[in-house]
A = this chain, B = another copy of it.
Amino acid sequence: MDTNSGLRASLTPGDVQAVSPALAHYTRTAIVDGIWKRSELSSRDRSMVTVATLIARIQTLGMQHYFAKALDSGVTPAELSETVTHLAFYCGWPNAFAAVDMLQSTFAGRDIGLDMLPEVSPELLPLNEEVEAKRSTQVEISFGAISQGVVDYTTNLLFRDLWLRPALAPRDRSLVTVAALVAAGQVAQIPFHLNRAMDNGLTQEQASEVLTHMAFYSGWPTVFSALPVFKEVFAGRNN
């Protein structure tokens, strides 16, 4: 180990132990043998939520560990690739490129080649025209005069293209979007996307557990800031 540079792609339990035995202990008991074993959310979902959290905050240390864990938990290379593509739009291109930097190593190490990755121009999933018409009309009325460019790209590039790509199920696309919003503290955008996630099949129990999981990965404050918003969304759907 190069003790001077301190710039590594991942840590070992021994590294954590050398700085904080207590942190190593909490990692093992509360995370590895704790939340990851709770039944409210599958390991596959937890992997996707964790990956989205890391990408949303450019936490490159640990990406390779969780990319591997995602692949080992049933996330396909195509789904992982598409998650990075999706989050380019929701976290910004530089965040996605930081993930590319790390994921390239993971893919190379597992001989995952182009034939296993999503097509550039696949046949798109069918669009729910009614739902999309309502969304686009609302955004056009609210913000068309403020930034027509944003409004047009949102419709054409996001909701009539990206969201319809078959490489990631709409429910999973929503799941990583919601996780990215919580991780980035973008609470104002949670209501639309959490409702969409639940329309796409995420259950309330799963959404609750996303917060439990994320408390450890993006920190308690991000989760406590998201809780009242989740509460309002849940209430709105249960009426």
Contact = CB atoms under 8 A, between A and B. Distances in A.
A23 interface: yes
Given A104-B15, A105-B4, A231-B146, A96 B23 contact: yes
A219 interface: yes
B92 A217 contact: yes
A19 B93 contact: no
Contact of A31 (B7, B93, B154, B185): B93
Interface stretch (A56-64, A68-76, A126-134): A56-64
Contacts of A107: 18-19
Contacts of A95: 57, 59, 219
Contacts of A209: 147, 149
A60 B6 contact: yes
Contacts of A100: 11, 15-16, 19-20, 23
A36 interface: no
A211 B19 contact: no
A45 interface: no
Given A30-B157, A54-B94, A38 B104 contact: no
Interface residues of A, number: 108
A142 to B, nearest CB: 7
Contacts of A93: 27, 31, 216-217
Given A5-B9, A5-B105, A6-B102, 19 more contacts: A4-B9, A6-B63, A6-B104, A7-B60, A18-B114, A19-B100, A19-B107, A20-B81, A20-B117, A23-B88, A30-B157, A31-B93, A57-B58, A57-B95, A59-B95, A89-B215, A90-B219, A147-B223, A189-B225
26 contacts: A3-B109, A4-B105, A8-B101, A15-B101, A18-B114, A20-B85, A22-B82, A22-B117, A22-B120, A22-B165, A25-B121, A27-B93, A38-B149, A53-B92, A58-B59, A59-B92, A88-B216, A90-B219, A92-B218, A143-B227, A146-B211, A147-B211, A149-B208, A154-B220, A186-B222, A188-B224
